[in-house]
Amino acid sequence: MLYLLFLIIKTTQLVNNMETRLHIAVISNIIFEPHFLPLTKQYFCENTAVFPIPFGEHTEVEYQTRMTSADLIVVWINIVALLPGQFYSLAEQDLDETIALCKKLYADLTRISHVKILWFLFEDYELPLSVTVGHVYHDFVDKLNVALRDSLSDHVSFIDLKYLIAKVGVSNAYDRKGKYRWNAPYSKILLKAAVNEIHKQYLIEKGITKKCLVLDCDNVLWGGILSEDGIENLKLSGSGLGRVYQDFQRFVLSLYYHGVILAICSKNDLLDVLGMFNEHSEMILKKEHIACFQVNWEDKPSNIQKIAEKFNISLDSMVFVDDSPVEIEAVKAMLPEVTTILFKRDMDYEQFSCFNLKSNISIANIDKRTETYRTNGFREGLKAKYTDYADYIAALEIKMDIHEAAPIEFSRISELTQRTNKCTNGRRYTVTEIKERTNSATVKLYSVSVSDRFSDLGLVGVIEVDGDALTLFSLSCRVLGREVEKKMMEFISDKYQIQKIEFESTGKNEAVKTLLSESFPNATIANCEIL
């Protein structure tokens, strides 16, 4: 029988602690203490409880109870402990048996609990002979990890353990004494990197990540001062010092294609900056990638505030990059909610891990969203012409289409539920969960698409009704304040007699709770608070 991890944890005390806010169940065949629990308290909150569950014993009643109360399930299986003494002759049979074992574990976990599962992929650095003659089992472990990814649904997020080990260094990743004394092979250094990744994935799952990257220009996107040096004298090329800035632009562009909103905040002349984006042959970023150019000679905190207002997003969802420590400190002082990053030529891109890069977003949706933000200036200009808000809404010529969601829209709907924190009832679905729910005869899922005189905003809202319960309401912040939410309420009221509203707090959606309760005064609200 495989042994219980975390021998030092006083699990019973933690379970009975009424002040505990986060429960993490960890299924493993090795031990992580004494470091794992203190690290989870450091990254999550002081009142974090870790439930150790021995691999192979998770179906026992005691451990099932722990998993049903867990907010997060972590699976970390050590292949050396899983297949002891077999590594002299690994074969396809061993591969198939290991995958079958993992698939059974996954089936058991999804039957017991519906919370997110974080699954550590296998690593081969510690395998016999690998230490002395190289990764002779590299092919086996890689095949195993590929099969694991292919076998489990998107209800699972995978953590690349081999990458974490390579990141901290193989010589720093292991604790030889701990391995033979306690069956605890990993060092505190590696466990810190692992818990950091667990925490990051948890924030992504809860939608608590950054959305917008605000960039300075001079000595950030290019080397030199545009207003002083001129376009022709700036450092920006595929070689020499200019490559630093090109590489950073490539990195920023990769963030864009993963759904990050890009904005420019620079003390410059707007026409000069636009000329740089339009005319310089070495620019990787183009004008069409930037949702907002806030370029003038005003202070940067005020300009960042204006960008947030244009996008209708909160300051704590923004990241600001500048090469000037003075500007960084000014933003910290005046807008403490904004995450700041000081640009350096040798900077560590790890600082940008606060962005949610897991969503599989189509390029078409990215471009459409950017165009929406870019045309917000036209909407604001139109708004200024009217003293009556109703007249302004009429002048926008808003068109809405609410229809039963098609399978081709499931990916966008999942993305919307995962990324929306403000105008939402707090429910978040994976694509697999959406497919499963729409198979129910009692569940109706509706997509909401919006356009106006300036642009097609695309699929910006979603509604789900299960019988007489409103189970999902989510609307992109891009269209808030244009009476779209009111029309969605009217649509629901006309078709259904809502008696129950499911609601989970995101920390930012109390206004939606008020809206739902006022729209359906006879309905009860089921509160399912999350961290």
Determine the Cα angle at 202 with ends 201 and 206, to 5°. Answer: 115
Backbone angles phi, psi at 406, to 5 degrees: -95, 150
Tell me: do 237 and 193 sit in the same domain. Answer: no
Last residue of a domain, one of 334, 354, 374: 354
The strand pairing partners of 322, in sequence order, are: 342
Residue 371 belongs to a domain: no
Residue 494 belongs to a domain: yes
CATH number, domain with residue 511: 3.40.630.30
Tell me: do 220 and 201 sit in the same domain. Answer: no
Q: Enumerate long-range contacts of 199-204, CB under 8 Å, 24 or more apart.
A: 199/40, 199/43, 199/44, 200/353, 201/116, 201/118, 201/157, 201/159, 201/358, 202/44, 202/72, 202/116, 202/118, 204/157, 204/356, 204/358, 204/418
Tell me: the pLDDT tens digits for 456-499? 888 989 999 999 999 999 998 877 778 888 899 999 999 999 99
Task: Indicate the range of 5-14, 36-45, 169-178, 456-465 predicted with least confidence.
Answer: 5-14
Neighbours of 484 (CB within 10 A): 21
Tokens linked to 507? 């920390």
- Rounded to two decimals, the pTM is 0.66
In the chain, the number of structural domains is 3
The per-residue DSSP string of 268-329 comes to S-HHHHHHHHHH-TT-SS-GGG-SEEEEESS-HHHHHHHHHHHHT--GGGEEEEES-HHHHH
SS3 8: coil
Tell me: do 441 and 457 sit in the same domain. Answer: yes
Contact 498, 521 (CB under 8 A): no
Check whether 55 has a pLDDT greater than 60: yes
Tell me: do 56 and 198 sit in the same domain. Answer: yes
Tokens linked to 127? 């395998």
Residue 17 belongs to a domain: yes
Residue 414 belongs to a domain: yes
Tell me: the pLDDT tens digits for 222-273? 999 998 888 888 999 877 888 999 999 999 999 998 889 999 999 999 999 9
Task: Note down the domain range covering 144.
Answer: 11-205
Tell me: the pLDDT tens digits for 129-170? 666 656 666 677 888 899 888 888 767 889 999 999 999 998
Tell me: do 335 and 245 sit in the same domain. Answer: yes
Tell me: do 253 and 221 sit in the same domain. Answer: yes
The residue with tokens 């339009």 is 278
